[in-house]
Homo-oligomer: A and B are copies of this chain.
Amino acid sequence: MTYTQHQIVKRLGISRATLHRVLSNSPKVKPATRDRVLKELQELNYVPNAIAQSLKTSKTKTLGIMGPATANASQIDKLSSLYVAARELGYSIIFAYSDGSPEADANSIRELQSRMVDGIIAFDRGLHANTQLYKSLVDGGKPLVTLYPTPGVETDCIYVNTRDAFSRLTKHLIDLGHKDIGLLITASQSNYIVNRELGFRDAMKKAKLPINDNWIIYASPDGMNTINSDDEEAAAWKISDYQYGFWGASLLFAKRSRPTALVCYTDEAAIGALRAAHMAEISIPDELALVGYNDKEDAKFARVPLTTMHQPDELIGKKVLQTLVKRINGELPSKAVLEALSAKLIVRESCGSHLAK
């Protein structure tokens, strides 16, 4: 049974205002009254109706997250620190599922607007198709924090400088003496992918190393066989990075020549590539140095432990939430916060640097 203030007030023979005063810790209430009320509250296990509170105050103390549910797996660390921080600040999280398509995103935004969330976190991968949607949100005054900068939308953003990260990752290989370096990514226009390629090119250019287009692999399902036949009907967005890595590397290994080092767009892709190398009897790192990105737990336990970049995901989740809440509370200057964090190089065996001496 759940009681309302009305019922409690009747039982106690006091007024709603008094009840509210003890609920809100106002000092203006006689200790004796307060105790009596508190006791009753306890006894009846009173739980305030947040819906009614929200309607009255026009603050829901809820935050919306919009993003692809499938991205959660890779963003899990950001998400969990975000949840923890939200609870600490008294906010609830509404997760509005979206596959990243403009239609789904529009639905998510409608859902969150309708629920009157106090702010929104866009957990997408920086696809620009939805710039207009975000713009309308921000113009409408709804606080929005994104995880990738969105050109054209002046909104708060906490992100990892992936371009720089990939540049440094590539440079690590260059410093090891590699000159023939390939890149394994997927075909996509998202920031998520594009910045990785840009970072790679930055490093190569800076080192005055030529880029062999044959060694830039855009992995895709086209004409590939899945490693497991019953995957075949799976939609493209459900294909894992492992699979893309496996396909991409297989493609590379089938070519007439191959680089001495390969940068993969995620750890999962690198693990897929590891498997392709194993099947092609190419020894890692002796015959091919390999690096991933993200420092997922399985990178540590891969066939060959992966050299990779570690993102400060927990910190990001925390900062995202804090920024959003500050924005909601009007504690931030009107200029959008744009904070870039750096990834950190984690050297393990797959790059072969333990051999180079």
Q: Residues on A close to B: CB < 8 A?
A: 1-2, 47-52, 54-55, 60, 62, 69-70, 72-73, 76, 79-80, 83-84, 86-87, 92-97, 107, 110-111, 113-116, 140, 227-228, 240, 242-243, 246, 268, 271-272, 274-275, 297-298, 300-303
The copy count of this chain in the complex is 2
* CB pair B97 A84 closer than 8 Å: yes
Q: Which residues of B contact A113 (CB under 8 A)?
A: 2, 47
Q: Which residues of B contact A47 (CB under 8 A)?
A: 110, 113-114
In the complex, how many angstroms separate the beta carbon of A15 from the nearest chain B beta carbon?
Answer: 22
* CB pair B115 A227 closer than 8 Å: no
Cα(A47)–Cα(B110), bound, Å: 7
Q: Which residues of B contact A240 (CB under 8 A)?
A: 297
* CB pair A50 B2 closer than 8 Å: no
Which of B72, B84, B271 meets A72, CB within 8 Å? B72
Cα(A286)–Cα(B297), bound, Å: 27
* CB pair B70 A73 closer than 8 Å: no
* CB pair B50 A140 closer than 8 Å: no
Cα(A249)–Cα(B51), bound, Å: 51
Q: Which residues of B contact A83 (CB under 8 A)?
A: 69, 95, 97
* CB pair A301 B271 closer than 8 Å: yes
In the complex, how many angstroms separate the beta carbon of A3 from the nearest chain B beta carbon?
Answer: 12
Contacts A140-B1, A298-B271, A303-B303 given: A97-B87 contact, CB under 8 Å? yes
